[in-house]
Amino acid sequence: MVWDMETGEALGAPLQGHTGSVNSVAISLDGTRIVSGSNDRTIRVWDAHTGKPLGAPLQGHTHYVRSVAISPNGTRIVSGSHDGTIRVWNLEFLDDQLLHVPPICLSSSITHALCSPSSFLHTSDSPVQTEEGWIVGPDGRLLLWIPIALYPVRYGMGNTLVIPRDANALQLDLSHFAHGTSWRECQHWEAASCS
């Protein structure tokens, strides 16, 4: 719920979308965005004026999100989790996600993004990560599997930095990842399209 500090009145309806308890909330300095972290292991970004979520929940933590903050310039979110990691999220990723098919990038470098995500992401919805380790497209198709043992220290989509408790974070370079429904076709197509 968003409240007017001067009058004490509620401004609109409660923000709904998390499936677990909300542990932390932050508002951007310009007052346009609200960020929340939850026991559902996600971070959500909200339009402070409409109360609507901006894009899909940010996923990457493997346990409760205990704290969130927004950088003074409004371009980064920092989250801390009970999984022992601190993650830095790029809000430009969220803006990009709202405009067109988002990049699939599991690294701090956008040059490591999947060369052509539109070949298996046919909408602007972001892929999601399941508890079994699958990255699943918006239509429910399995895209990529990453062993669960690597999750606590792996870059998620939208992360610019992951600070793990005691190890280096895994970064995946998907820039030359060949994918498609027919191996012969995707091998030829990927070689041509990524050059």
Q: Give the phi and the psi of residue 136 in degrees, each rounded to 5.
A: -115, 135
Average pLDDT of the segment spanning 114-124: 53
Largest CA distance in the chain: 65
Supply the pLDDT for residue 104. Answer: 66
pLDDT band at 37 (very low <50, low <70, confident <90, very high): very high
Instruction: Name the one residue in this structure whose structure tokens are 């932050």.
Output: 26
Q: Which residues contact 183 (CB under 8 A, 6 or more apart)?
A: none
> What pLDDT does residue 32 have?
92
**What is the average per-residue pLDDT within 61-80?**
93
Model pTM greater than 0.85? no
Pick from 122, 125, 104: nearest CA to 113: 104
Give the per-residue pLDDT at 122: 46
pLDDT at 168 over 60: yes
Tokens (6 digits) for 30: 């310009």
Most confident of 26-40, 107-121, 142-156, 167-181: 26-40
125-144 tens-digit pLDDT:
556 667 777 777 666 777 77
Q: What is the mean pLDDT of the chain?
A: 76
CB-CB contact of 18 with 26 (8 Å): no
Query: What is the rounded distance in angstroms from the CA atom of residue 64 to the CA atom of residue 81?
Result: 6
pLDDT at 158 over 80: no
> How many residues appear in the chain?
195
What is the Cα–Cα distance from 60 to 16, expressed in whole angstroms?
20
